[in-house]
Structure formats: C-alpha cells, structure tokens
Chain A
Amino acid sequence: MNQLMKRKSRGDIWFDIFNYVLLSIVMLLVLFPLYFVLIASFSDPNYIYSGEVWLFPKGFTLDGYERIFNDSSIWIGYANSILYATLGTIIGVAVTVFAAYPLARKDLVGKSAIMWFLMVTMFFSGGLIPTYLLIKDLHMLNTIWALVIPGAGGVFNVIIVRTFFQSSIPDEMWEAASIDGCSNTRFFWSIVLPLSKSILAVMVLYHVVGFWNGFFDALIYLNDESKYPLQLVLRNILVQNQVNSGMMIDVESYAAKMRVTELIKYGVIIVSSLPLLMLYPFLQKYFVKGVMIGSIKG
C-alpha cells in the first residue's frame, strides 16, 4: 500500500487546512461563551457594564463569589439537588436494571407482551394534567417522592441496558449455570452485574445529570422554597432577576444593585455548572458508550 500512497494533491492540502480552520472556529464558538462567563465572574461589574472585559478578567474581584457563598438559598438548593439526585438515581437505576435483565433473556414467557406494555408509553401518555392530578391524589405533592418515583425506569434506558445484556451476556452462560443448579437471582447478582459495570456507570451518569439539570418536575410539584433544587433557585436568580435581598444588604443605589446582580449571575452559572463540566471529560467515554448502545436498534 505504501508505494501506492501518492503525495497529497494540492486540493487535499487545502481541504485539510480548511477543515482545521473551520473546526477550530466551531470549537472557539462553543468555548468562548463558557470562558467569558468564567472571567466575567471574577471581574469588576463596572467593567462588564462598560464593555471592557473581553479575554481576561478586569478589576479582579471575588465579591460575587463572596455574596453567593454567604447566601443560604444556593446551598440549600445544592443540598436538595444532591439529595434528589442520589435517591432518584438509586431508585431509577435499580428499577431499570432489574427490568432490563429478564427482558434480555431469550426464553422468558410473555416477553413481547411486557415489551409492548413498556413501549406503548413512548407514543402515548396521559399528559401533564392527569399525571399532576394523580400525584395530587396520592398526596405526593410537595414531597421528594414526586420527583424520584414517577419517572423511574424510563423505556429508553431499559432498552439500552437490555441491548447491553443481550450483546455481552451469552445465553450459554445462563444455560451452563442453571444446569449447575444456579438460581436466576444468584446468576444475576454474581455473574451479570459484575460483568456490567460499564453500563451501570452509564446509567448512573445519565440519571445524575438528568436530576441535576432537570427542573420541570420540581417546578410543578414543589411549593416550599426550602425544598427547591438548585435549578429552581437558579431560575429565580438567572431568569427572573430575583436576587435574595440578603446578598444585597450593603448595596445602596439601584444602579449598583443592577451591576452586582449581573456579577452574581455570572458567579452562579459557574458555581452550578462547574462540578459537572470538570468531571465530564473523565467520564466522557461512558456517555459516548450510552449513545452508541442506544443507537443500535433494539
């Protein structure tokens, strides 16, 4: 093959240059907004207002962060989000994985009926109001359970895990184990799960990100501010411009308040998104794996 490798033609060199330049521009377009939020959160808000912050922080200050860290609502939101994400992930992953294993087995009686039972919900649902009324009747309104139970075991996740089991746990394994007198439960615990660490990681990550970033269920089902997850606290600050008066106690004029509000906005974006953005490059392969398995037609 090597002798056949021609020197690159001029057109191909241009193609490569064009490709690199364009992709680099795309990358910068994605990166710059994130980077700008970071530098703006350390800059004097007067410089942000006058448009003097471009590539580096100007008038370096930690004032925004001090105000954020001294305010309890963000930390309550943080704690709530961690609680919901932990409990929701445990319940969600357990339901999903337990359901996926039997459905991955060739010899399960009634398998296609159960698959249909799950799949129907992808195309048809009761919708927002009937679900809301149900949660109300179950007295789950304003409780953590409304956030972590109703959505557990989403069809798409079940299909991903099932596909993984089908492709990585050969039937012969179960046949051999059952001849030796191994029960289904024991086989699942001591053979299937240890072989499925990667898909468990994928599921845990999907759930954590979902709970961490989701706000719709909390918006509908929760009314106590003390139960608000981080995203709802953020919504008050970022979207509705409601910064806690506690953060502003020392700020006098209306104009100064506006500026500090802006600084706090940049700061909370960083405080809320940084954990995930820092962690995700190390976990990237799991997210990619999930997408890959999900794209195989189940």
Chain B
Amino acid sequence: MNSRTSSLDHSTIKPKRKRWSRVKRDYELYLFLLPIIILYLVFKYYPMYGVQIAFKDFSPSQGIWGSEWVGFQHFIDFFNSYNFWTIITNTLSLSFLSLLFGFPAPIIIALMLNQMLGKRYKKFVQTVIYAPHFISTVVLIGMLNVFLSPNSGIVNHVITMFGGDPILFMADEGWFRPLYILSGIWQETGFSTIIYLAALAGVNPELHEAATMDGASKWKRVWNVDIPSILPTIVILLILALGNIMSIGFEKAFLMQSDLNYGTSNIIPTYVYEMGIQKAQYSFSTAVGLFNSLINIILIVTVNRIAKKITETSLW
C-alpha cells in the first residue's frame, strides 16, 4: 500500500509536474466529465459552427462548408421584409408586458404569505398556488380554449349573464397579449414565490422585534424591514429577467397562434420555426435567430453593467 500524498501536502516538486501528476491521479474524474464534454461538443458547439449558414445560401446537397457565401444578404432581407417591425414590436411588447405585470406579482404574494400566522393554512395555500406550475403548456392553452369558448365557455357564460355579448377571445388580435400574460401569471406566480420566501426566511428576526418595540405596525414592518431585506434577490432576478427579454418562449405563443391573431402573436421564435422548419428556408431562418441571440447578449451585458453602477449587485 503506497500512501499517496494528499493535495494538502506542499511538497517541493516543481508546480508543472505537480499539476500533471494531479491530472494523472484524478484521471477518473476526467472520465466522469467525458460524456458531458462529448455531448456539448456535438449538440451545442457543432451547431454554433453551423450558424455560418446565416451568411451562406445553404443547400443540403452542398453541406454547411460547401454552400455559397452571401454575406449579410439574409439579414438585409429580414430587415427589409414587410413584417420586420411587426415581429420586433410583437416580441418586445409581449415580453416586456409579461415582465411588467408578471415580475411584481410573486413578490407581493410572497410578502403576504410571509405575514401569515396560521402555519397549516399557509402550507395549504402554498401547495395550491404552486400546482399550476406542473401543468403542461398544451394543457394550459387547452384550458384557455375551453374556458373562453364563445358558446360553451364559462367566461362567456358570465359575460352573457350580465347582459354582454360573447367575446371571441382566442380569435382576437387584441386579446392575445392579455391572455398570454394573465395565463402566465396564473401558472407561474405561485412557484416563483419560493425564492422570495427563502430570502424572507433569512431576514433577521431581531429587526422585526426592534421595529415592533418602536411601535411599527405590520404594514410598516413589511415596508421597512421585509422589502429592503429581499431587495438584492429582487435585483438579481430582475437582471436575469431583463436579460431574457428577447428569449421569450416559443411554446405558448405557438400554441395560441392562429391565422386570426397572427398580427400580434407572430414573434421571433414562432417566425424562426415557421420559416425554418415549415418552409425550409434554413439560411434565412438561422439569420433571424442569430440576430435575436446577438440582441440578447448585448442586452444581458448592458443590463448587468447598469445594475452594477446603480445597485452594486450584479451577476458577474
């Protein structure tokens, strides 16, 4: 049995050789990492190499490398296409409005839950409001369809009960954004409270005691103790959310989309799918997707910079 030197042992061997011997000693750990490295090289990095088809006229017979370069032609085509501004406006409005209404909701609910006295009832409320997170997007949109159906949906029954006319919610451009945002709030608000509740659990109880002794009401304590305590968490999540403003999900918009609401539901991800997968315009579609990624990266970096300047909280 030869006892190997542990990493704590500062021996006098030259550092380079020491590194190499550590690599040899831990060869198994590199084997552990092998699967993920191979997977990433193939499924994540190779497609990055494939992004060059955005600057080429890709034809499957020529392959990625063999296709003709066309420079920025596809980007120019996209910028000049008649629906360019519609798509950009739709994408930005949808994600910005979702953030505007969706972001504060879990903070408010978490602050309220945190002030709840009855432990059992609190747990029950939490269990209920987390539940929609586990419903699939397909089922969520299916629920919208049945509830908002013009002749059998419960929502239109309520409207007609009060003497209104049934509304064709799902077939109306104007309703697409409100429905998208409200259904998102219904589905994700509860589950998003978890992070804030964790932050609130870490608030020093002495602060609350001191405030109570000074005669602060509950409302004052929420405002002056709870909210300042979770501000760093709020800022970090806001940076992340702002950085993701261009990477709005495909699934929900795609499922809600129909010819009737296309004017507001046509956003970058659905457009990329439509042009690329359905119409097989591989190069053009890749260019649109790449344009989206670039804006996203610029956004993340910018938002992070601004956050660093203003609040001294940042991602890196």
Q: Which residues of A contact B (CB under 8 A)?
A: 1, 4, 6, 9, 11-12, 15-16, 19-20, 22-24, 26-27, 29-31, 33-34, 36-37, 40, 45, 48-49, 51, 53, 94-96, 98-99, 101-103, 105-110, 114, 117-118, 121, 123-134, 149-153, 158, 175, 178-179, 181, 183-185, 188, 209, 212-216, 220, 231, 234-235, 237-239, 259, 262, 265-266, 268-269, 272-273, 276-277, 280-281, 284, 287-288, 291-292, 295, 297
Contact = CB atoms under 8 A, between A and B. Distances in A.
Contacts of B310: none
Contact of B131 (A95, A129, A188, A277): A277
11 contacts: A16-B218, A29-B186, A30-B186, A33-B143, A114-B33, A121-B45, A129-B272, A130-B48, A134-B50, A213-B136, A238-B141
B138 A125 contact: no
Nearest to A232: B138
B277 A220 contact: yes
Interface stretch (B87-95, B172-180, B190-198): B190-198
Contacts of B137: 213, 215
B44 A125 contact: yes
Given A95-B39, A99-B32, A179-B3, 13 more contacts: A9-B217, A33-B143, A117-B37, A130-B46, A175-B8, A181-B1, A185-B28, A209-B134, A238-B146, A239-B141, A262-B152, A288-B194, A295-B233
A129 B138 contact: no
A298 B190 CA distance: 24
Contacts of B115: 15-16, 19
Which DSSP category, helix, strand, loop or mixed, fits chain A's interface? helix
Interface string B272-286: 110011000010011
Contacts, number: 274
B218 A130 contact: no
Interface of B: 1, 3-4, 6-8, 19, 22-23, 26, 28-30, 32-33, 35-37, 39-40, 42-51, 53, 60, 64, 109, 112-113, 115-117, 124-125, 127-132, 134-139, 141-143, 145-147, 149, 151-152, 154, 157, 160-161, 186, 190-191, 194-195, 198, 209, 212-213, 217-219, 233, 236, 250-251, 255, 272-273, 276-277, 282, 285-286, 289-290, 293, 296-297, 300
A63 to B, nearest CB: 16
A179 B4 contact: yes
Contacts of B128: 27, 30-31
Nearest to B118: A20
B39 A153 contact: yes
A15 B64 CA distance: 65
B256 to A, nearest CB: 8
A236 to B, nearest CB: 10
A244 to B, nearest CB: 16
A32 B236 CA distance: 33
A128 B276 contact: yes
B35 A153 contact: yes
Contacts of B276: 128-129, 132
A134 B161 contact: no
Contacts of B22: 107, 109
Contact of A153 (B26, B36, B116, B213): B36
A23 to B, nearest CB: 6
The interface centre, meaning the residue of B39, B44, B272, B286 with most chain A CB atoms within 10 A of its CB, is: B44
Contact of A30 (B64, B129, B149, B296): B129
A237 B143 CA distance: 12
A246 to B, nearest CB: 20
A262 B160 CA distance: 19
B47 A101 contact: no
B53 A129 contact: yes
Contacts of B233: 295
A101 B125 CA distance: 37
Contacts of B36: 95-96, 98-99, 118, 152-153, 158
A184 B290 CA distance: 42
A183 B31 CA distance: 13
A152 B36 CA distance: 8
Contacts of A108: 26, 29
B57 to A, nearest CB: 14
Contacts of A48: 152
A266 B286 CA distance: 39
Contacts of A268: 142
B125 A27 contact: yes
A96 B35 CA distance: 9
Contacts of B129: 26-27, 30
Given A15-B217, A15-B218, A133 B282 contact: yes
A13 to B, nearest CB: 9
